[in-house]
Structure 1
Amino acid sequence: MKFSFKSTATLFALVVSTTLIFSSCKKDKSEAFTSTKLKSVTAPDNQVSLTYNANGTIKTAALKNDFVTSGDLVNYQVSYNAQGKISEITSDEDIRIVPIYQNGVLAEASFETLSGIELFVTTYTYQNNFLKSVQINSAAGEAWLKFVFTNSASGNVEKTEFYFQNPLQPDLFIFGGTVTSTYDNKPNPLYAAKDLLHLLWVPASPNNMLTEIHKDDNNILEETVNYTYQYHSNGVPKSAVMQSTVVGQQPVNSAITFSYF
């Protein structure tokens, strides 16, 4: 796993919008679509692909985005404990992620090399059983990144606050900006993989994002993003068009497609 920390707007677009990365499935239009098990999600420069064990748990994941993988396609192998919780994730880039649970809930995760050198520690907090914050510190305890989420009653992430390391006081965070979001009422196929995604610092909402408004640390608008979907007969997304408009620039449209097993 590689890490690339870029501008606030780019970071938010990758972290929040990764819950909407898709690859399309061709079905006869007259045939009722019943599958909800996601195979892959593909957008320009972004990808998530999943395989499953016989019991339905995720066996492998392939992820590509600028934030987590620096634009490379990275493969992850997922292992489980006797309780069915993720016990370890290993990548083909010499990284092991080891989660710690408290009362059956993900509380902490250690990022380390396969030889055992600790790199990062992620801590998780919750409110009303939904993920409230993700904080990432270096092995030495220095503040790196922090995300604070405001959730709707149904668990959709309606607002994300971003904090990054204070260059003058590396053990403290400074505010970096926000993203506010709205959602449809259809099932997000990536929500079933939320335990895995949370370990990779990607929040997953139950429904599909319709809009994003990105603002900087001074509450100044930086970018708006709108999603328009086509759905299968059972409500899961079939494809989408993402229109991104950076302030002062022309809108850019990108195709997003989903595929299912």
Structure 2
Amino acid sequence: MHTTLKLNQKAISIVLMAATLLLASCKKDKHPDPAPLPPPPAKLTLQEYKDGEDFMRFEYNTNGSLKKATVKNDINTSGDIIDFTLTYGAGSLISEVNSSSGEKIVPVYENNVLKRADYFVAGQRTGFTNYQFENGNIKRATIYAGEENAYNPLLEFIYTYNGNGNVTEGVIMVATNTPGYMVRAGHAEMQYDQKINPLYAHKDFLVLLWQGPSKNNVTIENIFDAQLAPEDKYQYEYTYKTGGLPEKADVKIGLPGNPVTTSTVGFTYK
């Protein structure tokens, strides 16, 4: 993991698009998505998620818990291939994540709820993320960077959910030259299908990497800049396996009226 909490502007944009975080919500939405389908009858284990040249590959312990994730993306690995090995503590909570690049993530819990994640390099804390929950859902994640107990906020994500527990809006705030003062950098608005997102099973790990899935699969991502003007649009058309799990998605990228590029997202199971 090559982040050490130093994100360039490209990475900030990618993180914004990855702001389709997390968990379930009791909040009501004026236009909630239809209720998700029940789990598929045949149990399949996700082995790889691939998005263009980026990917996540998963290995499991004998009890089915996540053992290792091999990751390549601009957010967490600067495009390198990095292994993240998980250790578990009481209550089957993740107690430590060690990367093959020599960095370590240590989650901190309060009443079994994630409160903070500390980031270390060679035994020195380089930063941390504070998490705020509401009704069991992460509503705010604030990333701090610094050293020797002098840390300042670098990035902040604020989430809004619909009644199905899918993030409908993710707002990103970024640091300014004034310590402790952040400004809006943009936001993403998402729509979803009714099918199960296989990445949701790894939400507890993915949130430590500042990303993670909603319960269902995103079908549309509208990206807006700091002035609320449309900046980009992602449209996903899925092919599903028997039982409803996604096999792949063809993605169209571009605003209406502008040139459109395409990419493919793929899922491999065992």
Same fold, TM exceeding 0.5?
yes
Q: 2:195, 2:155 → 1: CA distance?
A: 31
- Does 2:8 align with 1:5? yes
What corresponds to 1:138 in structure 2?
145
On the 8 A contact 1:225/1:244 being kept in 2, the answer is yes
What secondary structure, in the 3-state scheme, does the structure 2 residue paired with 1:183 have? strand
Q: 2:119, 2:140 → 1: CA distance?
A: 18
CA shift for structure 1 position 182:
0.3
Listed one character per residue, the Cα deviations across residues 80-130 of structure 1 (whole Å, up to 9, x for unaligned) are: 0032100000001110000001111111010001x3100111011112211
What corresponds to 1:121 in structure 2?
128
CA shift for structure 1 position 203:
2.8
Q: What percent of counterpart residues are identical? A: 30
What corresponds to 2:19 in structure 1?
16
Q: 2:44, 2:155 → 1: CA distance?
A: 33
CA shift for structure 1 position 195:
0.2
What is the aligned residue count?
246
Structure 2: gaps (5+ residues): 23-39
Q: 2:89, 2:54 → 1: CA distance?
A: 30
Letter of the aligned partner of 1:239 in structure 2?
A: K
What secondary structure, in the 3-state scheme, does the structure 2 residue paired with 1:83 have? helix
What corresponds to 1:242 in structure 2?
251
CA shift for structure 1 position 144:
0.6
Structure 1: gaps (5+ residues): 20-31
The runs of at least 4 consecutive aligned structure 1 residues that moved more than 4 Å come to 246-249
Letter of the aligned partner of 1:208 in structure 2?
A: N
On the 8 A contact 1:110/1:121 being kept in 2, the answer is yes
Q: 1:203, 1:166 → 2: CA distance?
A: 26
Query: Normalized against structure 2, the TM-score is what?
Result: 0.86
Q: 2:226, 2:262 → 1: CA distance?
A: 26
Please report the RMSD computed on the Cα atoms of aligned residues, expressed in angstroms: 1.9
What secondary structure, in the 3-state scheme, does the structure 2 residue paired with 1:40 have? strand
Q: 1:93, 1:166 → 2: CA distance?
A: 29
Picking from 164, 167, 181, the partner of 1:154 is 164
On the 8 A contact 2:95/2:106 being kept in 1, the answer is yes
Q: 1:252, 1:213 → 2: CA distance?
A: 15
Q: 2:204, 2:46 → 1: CA distance?
A: 15
